[in-house]
Structures are given as structure tokens and as C-alpha cells.
A and B are shown apart, each in its own frame.
Chain A
């Protein structure tokens, strides 16, 4: 057991070294762009998975927090010259605060109707930011002023620097998830996900647990919003509150393995790689092809492997591992 524990740390150390070295070895900016997308959506997936995966509160409205994070930091930067590093934290706090009333409303519904209510909240926020032009530029959006190399303003000349920022975010997300998995909170979440009434019957304070995890999930998602705006130097309501962000957050977790630490990462690697390959084969001329393929993958996973790729890999491993001693 201890040997396995040591092996685990060795693997993690190796993975860290590879991840840090990667943009130095593969320097094509097309490839780094794909790596950044993979890391970013893994991180959003990890944030979604905390609530959607462990507690099975299947939100399709996480774009609300992505957008709030993006807008908070951008408004602070463009209008008041405050660094997006501070804006990022402020955006996280804004998202946490927003999650309280949103959660209060949406958690009154369960199952599919919770999902619908979350879609509605993200749409409302998008409409609000479209409508109020005075403090948020309305539908045209705005570009983030390009300061060249300004690490204190979260602007870099090298793409690889963005890579390290989002790698750091993902590491934080995975660490938080890992800590929660091993805590009472994690067990409460899984209990709620399995059967909310039964969990309450044995003394889990479900409304409080759901509220807390929703705040944490919203906070992390907002950080991704700030990062994305800084990375593409542009913000408008349609990108910040894009339904596709909500979709992808849920999709990567389900395809990879819902309610598992590494599920969202594995799901994102598969989906984003597929998307990148499709784009290089077909070009971006064929609209809709990416989501067509995503939806087919999602259907296949749901119909044949509801536990996702992680579950598939575990099944294979057990089959192989069980057979091995028999042969020895």
C-alpha cells in the first residue's frame, strides 16, 4: 500500500514536470492555443463537477459565473485601471454572492427543472448585460487595452505564460476537489447526489451543503471568465455568457467521468482534441460540425458508459488486473 502511495507521488511529480516543460518543447502557437483551451475547459469542468458531479446538481447555467467573473475584472480594469489579478478575485467574490440568490431560487426545484432554472438565470444575466450599456458597453462589448508585456495586468507577450496561468488555475481546482473528496463535505455531497431525501434523513443539512458547494463552484468558474477575457482581449455578453460555456462545463465532466477527480480533465482532452482535429481536417467552414460530434459522443457515453471514460478505463483495468494473477 505504501509502495503504491510512493508510486502515486512519483507519477504526480512526473506529470507536473511534463506539464511545465510542454510549452517549451512544443512551441507552435496553434498547439499552445489548443493546450490552453484544454486546460481552461478542464478547469471549468472541474469547477462544475464539484456541484454537478458530486452532488448531482446538474447546472446548465455556469456561464452566469463565467460571465460575472469576466465582466467584474474587465469593468475594474477598463474603467478604473485595477489589475485583473485583483479583478479576478473580486469577480470570484461577485460570483459567490450572485450564487446565493440564484441558488435560493433554483434549489427550490429538483432534477431537470433545476437544470432549466439555471439556464434561465444565465440567460437573464446575458440580457441584463446586453440591456445596460452605461456600465458594460451593451451588445458591442469592448476590447481590453493591450499593454504589451504587463504581467501585473495579466498580459503577456508569450503565449506560454498564459498556459502557466491556466495550468495554475487547474492545479488549484484539482487540489480543492481532492481535499473536498477526502472531507466530510465530499461524503455529504455524494450522499445528496445519490438520494437527497435519504441524505437529509440521516442528518445531512442538504440546503446548506448545496449552497456552500454552489458558492465554491461559482467562485472557481468566475476565475476562468477573467482569464479567458484577458487571453482573447475582448468581452461582450454573447461570449461571456455563452451557452456553449455552460454546455461544455457539463459535457467534459460527463464524458470523462461525472463525480471523479480527473473526469473533467480526461473529458476535455478527448473533446477538445476531437474538435481541433475536425477543424484541421474540415476547416472552420462547416458550421455546427463540432457540436454535432460532441453530441454524438455524449449520447454514446450516456447510452453505453454512463460512468464516462474513467469508468470505462476502470472496468478494463479490473478485467485485466483480475485476469493477471490467474495466469501467474
Chain B
């Protein structure tokens, strides 16, 4: 019993690390640019396909292809922010929601057209490896993904807290108008925030590739989880999103283990609805606000 429970918690934490990369991106964009990127999951999908093609065409390990998927998606993020998102920033919700939503639909269906709905997998030397601790079982590929995900989250924290650009991003997310009065260039900050968020999604994609199949709809799984985590962790709060993502992963895993294989999502959504009902400002909300 306890072993099953511990195993479910471990599985949940490991996949929660990937959820964290996606939701940190969503919450970063929301905090700084003040829009919700509905297409975040599609960039995970693109990251996966990049790693898939590098692995099958050139035999490059998915972990090495992080060095390709992250810069490519960073650049894509800067361009998307510059040419699309910038044009709809303003008080009106509708264009913002539906522009990124249209982008999500477009990327998803383009990949359906070009890559078909087939599941693509990459088999690495460590795909079937696992560590054993007593009765517990830790797949190496997932452990690596989790470790890299936490490392990247840590790097982001260092970037946001120690560099001028990172501080400018935090300032812009706390109070955009005052930040601009202090001489922060909003377009530059927005572009970096969007690029960073997409690079994290791309990293999530590459890290998933050794143990998860790539297919056009794969992003939807992760983006829903990320949205739930971002609401639970308080909108725009990076640390909140990280903690909430790990919780979501565990909740989903416990749901699968103890309620049934198809009820992981039900448990996750139930958590979302409970959060909305009892603490709509999220768990990371500061007191007295």
C-alpha cells in the first residue's frame, strides 16, 4: 500500500516537472505581457517534433537537441510577440484571447497536415533504464527530464532576480506603467518574456521525447494542465506555478493509481474547480491583498 502510494507520488512529481516548464511559461507571459498564450501547448509539440526529426535524421539525442529547440523557439517567440501579439495589446480581451487561440489552432492543424496524426517515438539508450530503490522504480529518462526541468526553472529564477533584464521583467509584471516611467523598454521586455516562455515549452518538448510520443494534439494535454496549475498557483506567480504543477502531477498520478486509468484528468479538474470555489485568487496569493 505505502509502496504503491510512494510510487504514485514519485511518478507524479517526475511528470510534474514537465508541467512546471509549460506553466512557468504561461505564467511568465501572463505576468509580463498580460495575455494568456493559448498556443503554449503547441510549442511543446513543436519542441517534440524538432527533437524527433533531429533524432531520426541525424541521430542526435533528444537531450542534446535541447540546444536547438530552445533557441529556435526563443526566436519564434520574439517574432510572434513582435509581429502578432504587439498588435492586439490593449484593454480589450477578445482579440488577445482569440489571436493566441487561432495561433494554437493553426499550428495544431498545420502539423496534422504535414506530420499526420501518427504517433512518433524516439528510442534512446536510456529509454528503458530504471533505478530501483527497494520496491520503488524510477525511470531514468523521466528522472533526467525532471532534473533538467528543475535546473531550467532555477536558472530562470536566477535570471529574474539577478540580471537587469530579469529585474526589468519583474518590474514590468508588478506595475507596467511605473516600470515604463523608469525607462524600461516594454517591447524589449515583452519580446524576451515571450521568447523565454516558448524556449521553456520547447525544452519541455525535447525532454519529453525519450519517453513520450509526439503527435499533433500532444500539446493540448500539457496546456490544460498548465492552465490549471497557473490558476491554482495564482496568475503571474512563477513560484506558485512551479509548486502547483508538481501538485497537479501528483494529483493526476494518484487519480490514475487509485481511481482508474482514465480519471487522472477528472482529479485535476476537480482540484481546479475546488480552487475556484474556495480560493479563486490561487494558493500563491499574497495575504492582505
Residues 89-124 of A at the B interface (beta carbon under 8 Å): 105-106, 108-109, 111-113, 115-117, 119-120, 123-124
Are B109 and A111 within 8 A (Cβ)? Answer: no
Are A131 and B266 within 8 A (Cβ)? Answer: yes
Residues 30-80 of A at the B interface (beta carbon under 8 Å): 56, 58, 60
Report B110 CB to chain A, min CB distance, Å: 6
Are B109 and A302 within 8 A (Cβ)? Answer: no
Report B47 CB to chain A, min CB distance, Å: 19
Among A120, A127, A128, A286, the one with the most B-chain Cβ atoms within 10 Å of its Cβ is: A120
- Select from chain B the residue with minimum beta-carbon distance to A293: B109
Are A105 and B109 within 8 A (Cβ)? Answer: no
Are A288 and B276 within 8 A (Cβ)? Answer: no
Are A116 and B276 within 8 A (Cβ)? Answer: no
Q: How far, in angstroms, from A292 to B265 measured CA to CA in the complex? A: 28
Q: Which residue of the partner chain, among B88, B113, B231, contacts A289 with CB atoms under 8 Å?
A: B113
Other contacts beyond A298-B105, A299-B84: 8, CB < 8 A:
A56-B93, A131-B263, A286-B113, A287-B112, A288-B113, A288-B216, A306-B94, A306-B95
**How does the 8 Å CB contact mask read for B91-125 relative to A, with 1 for contact and 0 for none?**
01111111101110110111111001100000000
A303 on the B face (CB < 8 A): yes
> A131-B262, A289-B113, A291-B109 are contacts. A303–B99 as well, Cβ < 8 Å?
yes
User: For the side of the interface on A, what is the size category?
Assistant: 35 or more
A206 on the B face (CB < 8 A): no
A144 on the B face (CB < 8 A): no
Are B109 and A289 within 8 A (Cβ)? Answer: yes
Q: How far, in angstroms, from A109 to B277 measured CA to CA in the complex? A: 11
Contacts of A113 in B (CB 8 A): 36, 231, 235
Q: Which residue of the partner chain, among A117, A120, A295, contacts B103 with CB atoms under 8 Å?
A: A295
Q: How far, in angstroms, from A88 to B208 measured CA to CA in the complex? A: 45
B59 on the A face (CB < 8 A): no
Are A117 and B276 within 8 A (Cβ)? Answer: yes
> A105-B273, A131-B262, A287-B117 are contacts. A295–B231 as well, Cβ < 8 Å?
no
Contacts of A298 in B (CB 8 A): 98, 101-102, 105
Contacts of B84 in A (CB 8 A): 299, 303
A258 on the B face (CB < 8 A): yes
Contacts of A306 in B (CB 8 A): 92, 94-95
B192 on the A face (CB < 8 A): no
- Select from chain A the residue with minimum beta-carbon distance to B37: A112
A25 on the B face (CB < 8 A): no
Query: Interface on A for B, CB 8 Å cutoff?
Result: 56, 58, 60, 105-106, 108-109, 111-113, 115-117, 119-120, 123-124, 127-128, 130-131, 247, 250, 254, 258, 286-292, 294-296, 298-299, 302-303, 306
Are A111 and B103 within 8 A (Cβ)? Answer: no
> A120-B272, A131-B262 are contacts. A292–B113 as well, Cβ < 8 Å?
yes
> A123-B269, A131-B266, A287-B113 are contacts. A115–B105 as well, Cβ < 8 Å?
no
> A108-B280, A250-B98, A302-B102 are contacts. A58–B266 as well, Cβ < 8 Å?
no
- Select from chain B the residue with minimum beta-carbon distance to A304: B87
Query: Interface on B for A, CB 8 Å cutoff?
Result: 30, 35-36, 38, 84, 87-88, 92-99, 101-103, 105-106, 108-113, 116-117, 216, 224, 227-228, 231, 235, 260, 262-263, 265-266, 269-270, 272-273, 276-277, 280
- Select from chain B the residue with minimum beta-carbon distance to A110: B93
> A111-B97, A303-B87 are contacts. A295–B113 as well, Cβ < 8 Å?
no
Contacts of A119 in B (CB 8 A): 224, 227
Contacts of A286 in B (CB 8 A): 113
Report B143 CB to chain A, min CB distance, Å: 30
26 pairs across A/B with beta carbons < 8 Å? Answer: A105-B273, A105-B276, A105-B277, A109-B231, A112-B35, A112-B36, A112-B38, A113-B235, A115-B97, A116-B231, A123-B269, A131-B262, A131-B266, A254-B94, A287-B112, A289-B109, A292-B110, A296-B106, A298-B105, A299-B99, A299-B102, A299-B103, A302-B88, A302-B94, A303-B84, A303-B99
Are A295 and B109 within 8 A (Cβ)? Answer: yes
Contacts of A123 in B (CB 8 A): 224, 265, 269
Q: How far, in angstroms, from A294 to B106 measured CA to CA in the complex? A: 8
- Select from chain B the residue with minimum beta-carbon distance to A294: B105
